Amino acid sequence: MSMDIPHNPVNSTKLLASIDMGSNSFKLFIIRALPNGRFLTVDRIKRPVLLGRTLIPTVQSSSPPPPPTSISLDSQLQSISTLRSFSEILHLHHIDSPTIVATCAVRESHNSTEFLSRIKQELGFEANVISGEEEARLIYTGVLQFLPVYYRTILTVDIGGGSTEFVVGREGKVIFSASLKLGHVSLTEGFVKSGEIVDMRRYIRSVIMESGVVEKVGEIGFEIAAGCSGTIRSIEKAVSKGLGRDLAIGGEPGGKFCRDWRFSREELGTVVERLLCGGEARQMGFSKRRAEFIVAGAVLLLEIFDILDIKEMEVSEYALGEGVVTEVLARECDEFDVNANVRWRSVLRLAGRFGGEKRVKSSGRCVGIAKEIAGGLNQCYGLTNHQNQSMVFLDDKDLEYLEAAILLHDIGLVLGKKGYHKQSYHIIKNGDHLYGYNTEEVELIALLARYHRKKFPKCEHSSLQGFSKELQVKQKFRVLCAIMWISLALQRSQCMTFQGLEMSLSQEGFKLVLKEPKSRSPDQDSLHPTSADIEAELKSELEHFEEVFQQKLSIVVPSSM
């Protein structure tokens, strides 16, 4: 499951974008960067642009490589048109300088200078042609933002339209990388369309064996193999739906599934077998665009599995584009944390596994409410001279714990409604699901989920005794808990809709003003709640808020016109 959660504009920083000019498609990736290097996906757009169709290999491995290719006029026009559409999208987001990288097809073409000059002249875009080794390094960087593999030796494989990148890395450092001229577009043109599958397999093996990749990877070794290209992701998705399991391990294709982001050699082999035995790629779940090249990509991947003795491959949704923006973030963020994104992914993955997509989206909206309340409270404290023991400032780490707890608060429902908050606590605490958090941080997130309903903990409560000895830390926990109660109650309310909120603080206490949508239907107006209605509905939550903050909280709903 892949999704990103709405966030609070108060805590947002700037937008960044990258464009990957691949051999088979162009990809635009827009993110909102947070201070510690974590990013939230704003938009991800992929458009078909075929630059590498002329990169046809030679069947005989002893033959010299094909001569430099040329990017055709049609491909150039298509590229300019696609980049212009990207430019319009970037303009809407007020992004002036995307980071643009061009890969194999541009790298190998003899008219690349002319092509890039045309892009610069017509659009003002400065595209950077990166080497195969640099491409592999950026891909590895992107994978680290999705999979919890930073401290392990990982072999990453990315199959593109014109080349395949291999990289072995550990703790963010590249130990070995190689770029081989094996791509699903070039292999389709050179072999698949003429039905020469046996020759294609022979060619793939000869290129890999002659490259020295086998010896180097064998010398270094690896703990995990990961794949991150569109070809590999589409195979994993098909396997998750049962395509690779119905013959291999008795799965039932077409049923409900939760993506596991991995597949075995046997499952991959089943997919390849079905494709080569006349299976219609479109009927097997591959998109129209992917179906054209999936035979070459799947056979290439299976050969890589066999040659490098890969038993199982984990799959990353992030790759080159995410690696590019991560590089920018690492340069610009003073508090850059290389594991910030993968921590967030582990929370989302756990939420999706036990909560389902609908509940995750609902919790995501609640996250937005909670972060606005937290941001408003911080702002109130900064603008007043109130000296109060209950006043604690919430930093980025605190907000991260709050987000995680809200997303995970109801995962215990998978075991039934009765006492589900306690089940949520046990799943979070004992499941070893969250990556990059220490024991106390996991305990904090689990306790927040545990106390989102039923009881409200006091500082001396027994469950908090082993959590931390500092009163300030316990008080901060209760502040987060109170925010969570209010946010969940507002999200659950069926009689109201609002768009944003504002917090203020005076001698009378806190005031929470709910901003209405710009337009309302007549039916909504007839059900328009008053401030008294909302406060009555949130009576217990408001009492807990007052207990923690020693200030009343009034909720204001602007009167309808």
d(CA 241, CA 258): 8
d(CA 129, CA 179): 14
- List where CATH 1.10.3210.10 sits in the chain: 340-495
d(CA 263, CA 182): 22
pLDDT tops 60 at residue 318: yes
Confidence at residue 7, expressed as pLDDT on a 0 to 100 scale: 37
d(CA 503, CA 146): 35
pTM of the model as a whole: 0.79
CATH number of 133-324: 3.30.420.150
- List where CATH 3.30.420.150 sits in the chain: 133-324
pLDDT interval class at 517 (50, 70, 90): low
**What is the tens place of the pLDDT at every residue in 214-268?**
999 999 999 999 999 999 999 999 898 876 554 333 333 333 345 678 999 999 9
d(CA 385, CA 143): 46
Name which of 477, 479, 490, 422 is nearest 453 in CA terms: 422
**What is the tens place of the pLDDT at every residue in 116-170?**
999 999 999 999 999 988 999 999 999 999 999 999 999 999 999 889 999 999 9
Tokens of 532: 């008294």
**Which overall architecture, per CATH, does domain 9-129 show?**
2-Layer Sandwich (3.30)
**CA trace torsion 514, 516, 521, 527 (10° rounding):** 20
d(CA 86, CA 98): 10
Least reliable range by pLDDT among 109-123, 299-313, 547-561: 547-561
- List where CATH 3.30.420.40 sits in the chain: 9-129
Confidence at residue 12, expressed as pLDDT on a 0 to 100 scale: 47
The class that CATH gives domain 340-495 is mainly alpha
pLDDT interval class at 412 (50, 70, 90): very high
Sheet containing 262-264: order of strands: 173-180, 164-170, 154-159, 224-227, 312-315, 262-264
Question: In angstroms, what CA-CA distances link 9 with 33, 363, 369, 503?
Answer: 12, 17, 11, 14
